[in-house]
């Protein structure tokens, strides 16, 4: 395999609305990101992925795009973006952007034209069908609850939407749509972006024959039950039924054609990358002619972070991955609970956070960090419903409220489920609004008050024992240690199943990583003399051989 820059890079996801507010309006922006590039370079970041920065009415937090070739006015201008891109490149930081393929906003000019009349030239750019009498065309469901069909009285037909009704699906069977979206990709590639993270790739096509789904459930049943589970009630809707519910709406074979078309386009440019929001191995392509990289999303599951789970996950992923196939490993993103909250049992948040960072930054494949992870930002339960911005959480809560449950009963569950909990503004200093916005400004989401307790960049930069410096040190170690950056992977037997241990190896170097996820000391047996190159417990430089007792939550990296 010919290695490319993304094989060796450490990526950092930026949620633009919450990263840095340069103009003091309570919303993050492009110039705010530009002002923080020196920080990212100091941390050791090689590439950033931007969540959507496009104009959007924000029905789904920017994933409802009204113009693919511009910047949201609250974020800045195209010239601001060009300046950000140039300054990032000047610091050897690559930039990839989100590309939402499945749908547009209902306020996109394409859809406004499409819905205006049945004979409009863009009518077939979206998926329109006659109803079945007074009912929708079939029983397909939206993943956000309710029918996937929305009646439009202007023309008396229904349009299809896998997500919100404000996110009508594009008709990718129309060659004009394919060309228009390839032109969008070319617009940004010509500008100099280094690739795309492709959103929700599995939803691009649906069965054109419109067969009814076969599940006895509706999407609203799943959403209702998820809220009920948070309220302490039992799970009554089997999770496996979710897949059956959408069997005719996701992962159709035609998706591969679009992935190949996008890959062909990006291959016209030098060193550009396609990363899919998917864990489906087949989208890498049999001939490696589709995506360059997929995510190992199973590591994001909401469950205790144990050696058994990590071992099971990696064994499965390696067994499925084709030769030369590549994955992105991540433990945080804009849709998931923050790892420091997910894995902590209330006893050792920082040691557990360091373990998750060490795993991510020493495994094979490309690590993706999420803004705020490096300072230990935790979930924030938005105090009031009128401060919540996550449409999905609001919809889920409304389902139970409409069932007769009072808001004060339902809202605690909404707080635990909303994606807002991991999207709150970045903490830059122990200052009003965490240094994200000036004092007195109402930020778009409330700032987590933990910024005043050392969970901010300025305090942690000044403290060389901080979590931030731990991330910086491990990133530097990964880059300076060939085996950790480019070595192959195999699990290592240290005669203790309660430790997670593995080896990374090149032709010239071997490194062993030992991670004790337990709150008790663990004994490991090291079969050959190895020098400690990193330790959380003062062993650096020591030569170890034979039995070694690892302290609770100890991280040990050896070179042989």
**Residue 315: CA count within 13 A, CB half-sphere:** 9
97 pairs with which residues across the strands? 50, 196
Task: Say if residue 388 is in the same domain as residue 240.
Answer: yes
- In 249-306, alpha helices (H): 255-266
Angle between helices 467-480 and 349-362 (to 10 degrees): 20
Find all residues with CB under 8 Å of 239, minimum gap 6, and list them. Answer: none
CA angle, 317 then 43 then 13, to 5°: 50
Which residue range is the domain that position 123 belongs to?
109-160
Please indicate, yes or no, if residue 503 is contained in any of the structural domains. yes
**Residue 55: CA count within 13 A, CB half-sphere:** 12
Please report, for residues 346, 351, 514, 533, the alpha-carbon distance to residue 551 in angstroms, rounded to integers and kept in the order given. 19, 11, 11, 17
Residues 124-131, mean pLDDT to the nearest whole number: 98
Task: Identify the burial level of 156 via C-beta atoms within 10 angstroms of its C-beta, where 0-12 means exposed, 13-18 middle and 19 or more buried.
Answer: exposed
Percent above pLDDT 70 for the chain: 99
Catalytically annotated residues? 199, 277
Can you give the pLDDT at residue 304? 66
What gap in Å lies between CA 37 and CA 47, rounded to an integer?
A: 11
Strand blocks (E) in 484-521: 488-491, 500-505, 510-515
Taking phi over 0 as left and psi of -120 to 50 as alpha, with beta for the rest, 427 belongs to: beta
Report helix, strand or coil for 194: coil
- Residue closest to 52 by CA, chosen among 106, 16, 89: 16
Encode pLDDT of 458-488 as tens digits.
Answer: 999 999 999 999 999 999 999 999 999 999 9
Task: Identify the burial level of 223 via C-beta atoms within 10 angstroms of its C-beta, where 0-12 means exposed, 13-18 middle and 19 or more buried.
Answer: buried
Q: Taking a C-beta distance cutoff of 8 angstroms, is the pair 558, 528 a contact?
A: no
Please indicate, yes or no, if residue 428 is contained in any of the structural domains. no
Given a cut of 70, whether residue 86 has pLDDT beyond it is yes
Find all residues with CB under 8 Å of 386, minimum gap 6, and list them. Answer: none
Task: Identify the burial level of 375 via C-beta atoms within 10 angstroms of its C-beta, where 0-12 means exposed, 13-18 middle and 19 or more buried.
Answer: buried
What gap in Å lies between CA 438 and CA 441, rounded to an integer?
A: 6
Pairing of strands 149-152, 157-160: antiparallel
Encode pLDDT of 216-238 as tens digits.
Answer: 999 999 999 999 998 899 999 99
Q: Quick one: CA dihedral 112, 116, 122, 127, positive or negative?
A: positive
CA angle, 69 then 166 then 207, to 5°: 95
Please indicate, yes or no, if residue 49 is contained in any of the structural domains. no
- Residue closest to 537 by CA, chosen among 553, 525, 523: 553
- Residue 302's pLDDT band, with cuts at 50, 70 and 90, is low
Can you give the pLDDT at residue 204? 98
Can you give the pLDDT at residue 347? 86
Please indicate, yes or no, if residue 511 is contained in any of the structural domains. yes
Can you give the pLDDT at residue 345? 80
- Distance from CA of residue 205 to its chain's centroid? 22
Report helix, strand or coil for 225: helix
Encode pLDDT of 376-411 as tens digits.
Answer: 999 999 999 999 999 999 999 999 999 999 999 999
Q: How many helices (H) and strands (E) does the chain have?
A: 17, 17
Residues 417-425, mean pLDDT to the nearest whole number: 96
Q: What is the pTM of this model?
A: 0.96
Can you give the pLDDT at residue 298? 84
What gap in Å lies between CA 11 and CA 96, rounded to an integer?
A: 10
Please indicate, yes or no, if residue 171 is contained in any of the structural domains. no
The CATH number assigned to the domain holding 532 equals: 2.60.40.1180
Pairing of strands 157-160, 128-129: antiparallel
Please indicate, yes or no, if residue 124 is contained in any of the structural domains. yes
Please indicate, yes or no, if residue 131 is contained in any of the structural domains. yes
Task: Say if residue 391 is in the same domain as residue 243.
Answer: yes
What gap in Å lies between CA 19 and CA 443, rounded to an integer?
A: 12
Please indicate, yes or no, if residue 239 is contained in any of the structural domains. yes
Taking phi over 0 as left and psi of -120 to 50 as alpha, with beta for the rest, 333 belongs to: beta
Sheet holding 128-129, edge to edge: 128-129, 157-160, 149-152
Q: Find the helix or strand (DSSP H, E) in which 50 lies.
A: strand 47-50
The CATH number assigned to the domain holding 131 equals: 3.90.400.10
Residues 349-355, mean pLDDT to the nearest whole number: 95
Q: Phi then psi for 500, rounded to 5 degrees?
A: -100, 115
555 pairs with which residues across the strands? 515
Domain count, the chain: 3
Computed over every residue of the chain, the mean pLDDT equals 95
């Amino acid at each position: 395999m010919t290695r490319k820059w993304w094989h060796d890079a450490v990526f950092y996801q930026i949620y633009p609305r919450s990263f840095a507010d340069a103009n003091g309006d309570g919303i993050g922006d492009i110039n705010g990101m530009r002002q923080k590039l020196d920080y990212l370079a100091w941390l050791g970041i090689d590439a950033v992925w931007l969540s959507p920065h496009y104009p959007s009415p924000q029905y789904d937090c920017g994933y409802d795009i009204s113009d693919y070739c511009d910047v949201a006015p609250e974020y800045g201008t195209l010239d601001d973006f060009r300046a950000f891109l140039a300054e990032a490149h000047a610091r050897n930081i690559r930039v990839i952007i989100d590309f939402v393929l499945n749908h547009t906003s209902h306020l996109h000019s394409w859809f406004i034209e499409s819905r205006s009349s049945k004979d409009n030239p863009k009518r077939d750019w979206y998926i329109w069908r006659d109803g079945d009498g007074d009912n929708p065309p079939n029983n397909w469901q939206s993943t956000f609850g309710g029918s996937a069909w929305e009646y439009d009285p202007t023309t008396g037909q229904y349009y299809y939407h896998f997500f919100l009704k404000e996110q009508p699906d594009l008709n990718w069977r129309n060659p004009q749509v394919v060309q228009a979206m390839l032109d969008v990709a070319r617009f940004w590639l010509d500008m100099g972006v280094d690739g795309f993270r492709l959103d929700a790739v599995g939803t691009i096509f649906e069965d054109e024959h419109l067969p009814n789904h076969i599940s006895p459930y509706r999407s609203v049943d799943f959403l209702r039950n998820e809220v009920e589970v948070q309220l302490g009630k039992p799970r009554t809707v089997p999770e496996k039924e979710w897949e059956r519910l959408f069997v005719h709406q996701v992962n159709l074979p035609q998706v591969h054609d679009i992935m190949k078309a996008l890959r062909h386009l990006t291959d016209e440019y030098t060193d550009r990358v396609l990363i899919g929001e998917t864990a489906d191995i087949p989208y890498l392509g049999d001939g490696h002619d589709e995506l360059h990289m997929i995510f190992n999303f199973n590591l994001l599951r909401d469950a205790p972070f144990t050696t058994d789970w990590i071992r099971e996950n990696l064994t499965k992923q390696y067994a499925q991955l084709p030769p030369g196939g590549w994955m992105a490993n991540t433990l945080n993103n804009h849709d998931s609970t923050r790892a420091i909250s997910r894995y902590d049992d209330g006893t050792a948040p920082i040691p557990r956070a360091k373990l998750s960072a060490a795993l991510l930054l020493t495994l094979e494949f490309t690590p993706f960090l999420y803004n705020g992870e490096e300072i230990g930002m935790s979930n924030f339960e938005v105090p009031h419903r009128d401060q919540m911005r996550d449409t999905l959480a609001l919809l889920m809560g409304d389902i139970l409220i409409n069932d007769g449950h009072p808001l004060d009963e339902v809202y605690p569950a909404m707080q635990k489920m909303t994606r807002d909990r991991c999207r709150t503004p970045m903490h830059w200093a122990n200052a009003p609004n965490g240094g994200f916005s000036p004092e007195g400004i109402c930020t778009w989401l409330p700032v987590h008050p933990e910024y005043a307790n050392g969970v901010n960049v300025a305090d942690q930069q000044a403290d060389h024992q901080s979590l931030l410096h731990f991330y910086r040190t491990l990133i530097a170690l990964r880059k300076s240690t060939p085996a950790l950056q480019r070595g192959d992977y195999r699990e290592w037997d240290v005669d203790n199943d309660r430790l997670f241990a593995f080896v990374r190896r090149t032709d010239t170097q071997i490194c062993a990583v030992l991670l004790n996820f337990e709150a008790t000391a663990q004994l490991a047996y090291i079969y050959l003399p190895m020098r400690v190159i990193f330790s959380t417990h003062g062993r650096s430089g020591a030569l170890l051989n034979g039995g070694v007792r690892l302290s609770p939550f100890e991280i040990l990296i050896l070179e042989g």
